[in-house]
Amino acid sequence: MSGLVFDSIVKKFGDFIAVHETSLTIPQGKFVCLLGPSGCGKTTLLRMISGLEDPTAGRILLEGDDVTRIPTHQRDFGMVFQNLALFPHLSVGENIAYPLRIRGGSKADCFKAVKRLLDLVQLPDMADRPVAKLSGGQKQRVAIARALALEPKLFLLDEPLSALDAKLRESMQIELKQLQQKLGITTIVVTHDQREAMTMADLVVVMSQGKVHQVAPPVEIYRKPKDAFVADFIGSTNLISGRVSGVGKIAVAGGTLRADDLPKSGDVTLSVRPENIRVSKDNGENSPGSLIGDVSYIRDLGASIEFYLNVAGQQIMAITTPSDRPDVVAGDSVSVAFPKDACVVLGDA
């Protein structure tokens, strides 16, 4: 058995279930994002990994060893908190060396480690600088360096980039991913930012109300969401309800759509991403896979153009590039095509 394993983990606070029974495996050396809205249980799950919270039931295993009841300071994990928790009265080097010093490291060993770690996080020659004089991005790098000082088996980060401005946040996402790839350390990040998860993760764990909905690579999460929650939470989508009307066919308001992997009968919900929908001038036909609608609003964002459409009383959004923009304006009647391979059948949430 390798990697980090959650074996039927449950966490309750009184009668409230913060994390419902969860079993999953995080392979060694992967970058994993725990993703979900506030209060979904992702931080509680991270705190159980770190030992800051004890599970109500179940076990946590690392490389086959049960670490469920091992105290936090004995788990050999590195952690970066949301508020970074740097010591303001210490210099950059002293902050990074702190965990080495309390483990009894010599001054020479601490000096070498600080130099190596500052080079690693691209802050060379800053060991003597006061932490209070650093920018937000620099403080982030110092917190990361300190967490890596003891060469931990796991690297845990709780909303580490939330306090940064948008441009710096995107830059740090790439830097953090590149650093993880260089070190090959199993890294688990808590975030509510879908873009952040899609940018950094090898695996995304999507959570809601204490339950894990889907565990998969980012592209699979986006293109093949398991249920309506995942489809709606990750990016933008159109959720369309219908009823199976034949092999590969779904009867929906306004016509018939096509999809693979349909049940033999019953009601279904489809997820169709806006960029996969094709809008064209209404030719008076309503063939399978296409519906007739009206253009309600067009929003030109420069790099992309959003079309808001009224299709049989439901608002549908389509996205295209300027070079592929159809020759339509608000108020036009249009044909709205839903490609078969873009219609994803969702399971129960």
Looking at residue 84, what is its pLDDT? 83
Mean pLDDT, rounded, for 29-43: 94
Mean pLDDT, rounded, for 251-270: 91
pLDDT band at residue 132 under the 50/70/90 scheme: confident
Looking at residue 101, what is its pLDDT? 87
Mean pLDDT, rounded, for 45-72: 93
Mean pLDDT, rounded, for 126-151: 89
pLDDT for residue 1 is more than 60: no
Mean pLDDT, rounded, for 244-248: 90
pLDDT for residue 113 is more than 70: yes
pLDDT band at residue 67 under the 50/70/90 scheme: very high
pLDDT band at residue 151 under the 50/70/90 scheme: confident
Superfamily of domain 4-231: P-loop containing nucleotide triphosphate hydrolases (3.40.50.300)
Going by C-alpha positions, the residue among 308, 325, 301, 230 that lies closest to residue 274 is: 308
pLDDT for residue 239 is more than 90: yes
| Domain segments of the chain as ranges | 4-231, 236-345
Asked whether this chain's domains 4-231 and 236-345 adopt the same fold, the reply is no
The burial class, CB within 10 Å (0-12 / 13-18 / 19+), for 128 is exposed
Mean pLDDT, rounded, for 86-97: 90
Looking at residue 344, what is its pLDDT? 95
Looking at residue 285, what is its pLDDT? 66
Q: Give the number of C-alpha atoms closer than 13 A to the C-alpha of residue 52, restricted to the C-beta side.
A: 12
> Is 340 in contact with 307 (CB distance < 8 Å)?
no
pLDDT for residue 286 is more than 70: no
Looking at residue 103, what is its pLDDT? 84
Amino acid present at 310: N
pLDDT band at residue 82 under the 50/70/90 scheme: confident
pLDDT digits (tens, 9 = 90+) for 193-236: 899 999 999 999 999 999 999 999 999 999 999 999 999 999 89
State the CATH architecture for 236-345.
Answer: Beta Barrel (2.40)
Percent of the chain at pLDDT > 90 equals 64
Q: Quick one: tokens of 209?
A: 């109300």
Mean pLDDT, rounded, for 42-62: 95
Across the chain, what does the average pLDDT equal?
Answer: 91
Looking at residue 120, what is its pLDDT? 87
Mean pLDDT, rounded, for 315-335: 94
Amino acid present at 24: L
pLDDT band at residue 162 under the 50/70/90 scheme: confident
Q: Quick one: tokens of 180?
A: 């993880």
Looking at residue 282, what is its pLDDT? 80
